[in-house]
Chains A and B, each alone.
Chain A
């Protein structure tokens, strides 16, 4: 069982829809991450939150909007996505962002854009 919970597991949306992905962890971790992963490819970092503040944005298009309401919760708001945004979206957390502790990954949300 993963300790990082992502909902929903699957999401199909049209290009004009607005939806949100949710990620939750109760390990007391203070760093949280969003990744995008295409099939059989490595994860691509999108955003990093450290102590609930956005610390890294990897030049992600504005149609993706992250939010960290508290230390346990991370959201990714989606609007006007493109077909190429179809992918597995992974959330991860770690005790802090300094790097010598492993990241714990959720099982992802599989997103399909029609």
Chain B
């Protein structure tokens, strides 16, 4: 079965500190990998994606993610967290079978305190 895991339901970080939101996946082939963020009462917003190439990808709002093929991980990072980064974060590989679709992790709630 194809799956994606975000092992932490919640991550707490002090403003100005670096943050990491973890994601590992078990998907056949070489999937496209995405991170989305959801602020309260909003839809999901695209942050960044890995298709191929450099293992470190940069995205919106200063976020970046590191792809590790051997560990099948795609961790989201930011060097210095802001209070406004507090939101729900979803990792989502795109799988090709079953018609082609995103499969979402369970989500990680990031809380950044001043």
Contact = CB atoms under 8 A, between A and B. Distances in A.
Interface of A: 2, 4, 40-43, 45, 48, 55-56, 90, 92, 97-100, 102-108
Interface in B60-114: 88, 90, 94, 96, 98-102, 104-107, 109
B41 interface: yes
A106 B34 CA distance: 17
Interface size on B, as a range, is 20 to 34
Given A99-B32, A102-B49, A105-B36, 8 more contacts: A40-B109, A41-B106, A43-B104, A45-B102, A92-B43, A100-B32, A100-B94, A108-B42
Complex A-B, nearest 5 residue pairs according to Cβ-Cβ distance, in ascending order: A105-B43, A42-B104, A102-B46, A99-B94, A56-B99
Nearest to B6: A42
Contacts, number: 58
Contacts of A4: 43
Nearest to A45: B101
26 contacts: A40-B88, A40-B107, A41-B106, A42-B90, A42-B104, A42-B107, A43-B44, A43-B90, A43-B104, A45-B102, A48-B101, A92-B44, A98-B100, A99-B32, A99-B96, A99-B100, A99-B102, A100-B32, A102-B49, A103-B44, A103-B46, A104-B46, A105-B44, A107-B41, A107-B43, A108-B42
